A and B are shown apart, each in its own frame.
Chain A
Amino acid sequence: MKTNIVSMIGFLGFVATGLLVANTGRFFAEAQKRRVTNLFLAFALFVSLTAGVTQHNMWPFSSWPVLAMPMPAASRVLPTPRIVGVDADGVEHGIDYRAWQPLSLEELNSWLNLHFFKLNVAAQDRIGRYFLDRANVAREQALSPSGLAYPNRWLGPFTAPTHMLHPAVWAHAGNVPKTSFVKIRIYNESWSLEERQHNPSAITRVLAYEYPHP
């Protein structure tokens, strides 16, 4: 909470001093204008350096903690969620990352890890229903002649990628399940990096959620 408030003050200060700079030309002499510009620059440097040095993310003054954590050899501490669709025959299918628009897969997976399992059952089921609907709508789009859309249909493959690349598993209609999903499952996957390097299927999967419930 404190970070949100301090960050907002930092941003408002940046805008306010900037507007002062923008308007000094009309009212002040050159020397005073320079002083106000110096104040703005000092403020911008102070806020951005504070965010970086303290590693408190004061977006848009970011602390940029990119990959700033150790990666354990076995990724069991923070399992990776995976949503799969289940057809009427009980067969599980992977779902294309574009199905979850407007959410990108990394935002969705992070939200699942952090918040989904803390929701009450009714809220989880509303989300489960949403996932099932989204997956079926996306499946139908993927089977249509125009295919599953990128976030921006006009830009198509020139759409700016998200921070993490994701394979478009439904890029070809042949890979798209032909029948509707009747169920959604969320698995938590973990694996030993060493083992999986030699055996790609060496994954531990734990069923974390299912909609509708069995």
Chain B
Amino acid sequence: MNILSLSRFGCHWDRFWFTPTSPRNVAASRIVFSVYSLWVLASRNLAQVSGLPSDFWSRVEATARWRYLDFPEHFALERMLVWIAGIALVCAMLGLLSRLSCFVAGILLYHLAPLESIIWIPHPYARGLTISVLALLTLSFVPSGDCWALLPPRTRPTRMASSDYTWPVRLIQVFLVEIYLFSGYAKIAVVGWKWASPSNIRNWVLYCIEEDQIGVFHSFGAWIADRPLVCVAMGVGTLVFELGLVAVLFSKLARRVLVPLVALFHLAILLSMNLTFLNVPQLLVFADWDVVTGWVNGKASKTRESASTSSA
């Protein structure tokens, strides 16, 4: 059989997106993204950007303003929208009107997140809310409140496996993997393979530790910069890791090994280059929450058993 035949592709497509799963993973995604987004939203003063002197906004293209409906001198309105987004995220977290709250939060974050950088660049990637917008909107299109919700919908039988619970989680995982895939691809497309050269890596590390307006951690970066072999390993390792992470979409083993390594990867970057990557908690969407729940329940029942034995 032709491996590229349409029917074969269709089978793979269906298996990837539509294998029925329990509602736990999609509910966990809802909780992870709402808690995380609330944390980032509460950590920024996005509304105040609208209240900056208008000269800051003078070089912002009209299309960028209209694209996000972000305009200067609307501080009070923006502050109200931040509060509405915050309330929607709390509702999403608790599972109150999950679809509506995820949708409101996703749309408002699309409007609010660009305020962080709009005065010089209209696409605020790597600032923490990029995947949140896509994930919350995706979750608003599906019944993510069928499980782990204070107010589950009455119309739907809960706890039954369904493909409706699978594809949204898969899509969010794809968006997360694209961060690394495109990041690796961009390095090769813009700089070429020499991006991984020891001199380039060394220069990046040195810049990040010498620029004293950035530098918080110095010693690990200096240690790396003094060792060309470590620099080349870091460069090649970064490209291999970023391009290879796509494997976690298709292999359970890759997921178990590589996803924890992503967290270590970002810790190493933080300590050596003073660069943070806030999305790390979002990697929890790669966990199998049925297994986690089973493990927690098992532990709880064991604890109850041992408590009843000791009291007897």
Contacts and interface: CB of A to CB of B under 8 A. Distances in A.
Contacts of A64: 125-126, 178-180, 182-183, 186
Contacts of B204: 67, 71
A17 B44 CA distance: 31
Q: How many interface residues does chain A have, given as a range?
A: 35 or more
B64 interface: yes
Contact of B225 (A61, A68, A105, A197): A197
A193 interface: yes
B127 A163 contact: yes
A7 to B, nearest CB: 7
Contacts of B56: 111, 127
Most chain B beta-carbon contacts within 10 A, residue among A5, A59, A73, A191: A59
A102 B214 contact: no
A73 B123 CA distance: 28
B278 A44 contact: no
Contacts of B265: none
A55 B189 contact: yes
B207 A53 contact: no
Interface in B142-184: 142, 167, 171, 174-175, 178-183
Interface residues of B, number: 90
Interface string B57-71: 011010110110000
B114 interface: yes
B259 interface: no
Given A41-B167, A65-B183, 19 more contacts: A1-B61, A5-B67, A15-B107, A22-B99, A48-B178, A52-B178, A59-B125, A62-B123, A62-B179, A62-B182, A63-B125, A69-B191, A80-B211, A82-B213, A126-B55, A155-B43, A165-B217, A167-B213, A167-B215
13 contacts: A4-B66, A5-B63, A15-B107, A41-B167, A53-B185, A65-B182, A66-B183, A71-B203, A72-B203, A107-B119, A119-B58, A159-B43, A197-B222
